[in-house]
Chains A and B, each alone.
Chain A
Amino acid sequence: GAGVSQSPRYKVAKRGQDVALRCDPISGHVSLFWYQQALGQGPEFLTYFQNEAQLDKSGLPSDRFFAERPEGSVSTLKIQRTQQEDSAVYLCASSFLPGQDNEKLFFGSGTQLSVL
């Protein structure tokens, strides 16, 4: 297809609102990652799925952040009670098979979240 697809492209939320960010990985890709990129910083790891299993959520900054991938394809990152410090670009990435020498990670265009 067209690559990793993320929606919405931009999201403005009032402080305290809940938001849901969607990632549609490349068809057949087993691995899916979420990264958070604050302004002027590099991407920071949030969580990792292999199919529907969330194998690593060590990067989620608080229990307000929750991610799921129930059928091993589309993933949703949910942020409850958004705070201003949550403002960032949220990047999704996928790859075909984990642990392969020639494995390549494909990134989406990101969702830019602004919390007012």
Chain B
Amino acid sequence: AQRVTQPEKLLSVFKGAPVELKCNYSYSGSPELFWYVQYSRQRLQLLLRHISRESIKGFTADLNKGETSFHLKKPFAQEEDSAMYYCALRDFGNEKLTFGTGTRLTIIP
């Protein structure tokens, strides 16, 4: 069964410092990996997906199949990055997402 692990429930980082939110997965096939974000009093929304290889709001994530990881990184944290972040996995050919338990990121001014 596929599984997504986010080992940190809480992460506090000073403004301007680098951010890394960890995500590991277990899956035997070719997964699609996503990061979703939920800002305070807002809906869950897509931040980025590994297929797009894009940088959104300064965040990037690289899929490392050898380490089965998809860590989210940003070189310089901003206060508006404070939010709940969820890593998610989708099996190719299947539509459902499997989410991790989430990491609450707090940026300290």
Contact = CB atoms under 8 A, between A and B. Distances in A.
Nearest to B94: A56
Main secondary structure on chain A at its contact with chain B?
loop
A40 B51 contact: no
Interface residues on B, range: 20 to 34
B97 A45 contact: yes
Contact of A43 (B44, B52, B93): B44
Interface stretch (A14-22, A60-68, A71-79, A98-106): A98-106
A42 B101 contact: yes
B45 interface: yes
A107 interface: yes
Interface of B: 4, 9, 43-46, 51-52, 86, 88, 93-102
26 contacts: A3-B43, A31-B95, A33-B96, A33-B97, A35-B99, A40-B9, A42-B86, A42-B99, A42-B101, A45-B96, A45-B97, A45-B98, A48-B95, A50-B95, A56-B94, A56-B95, A59-B96, A91-B44, A99-B93, A99-B95, A102-B52, A106-B43, A107-B43, A107-B45, A109-B43, A110-B43
The 4 A-B pairs of least Cβ separation, nearest first, read A42-B99, A45-B96, A107-B44, A107-B43
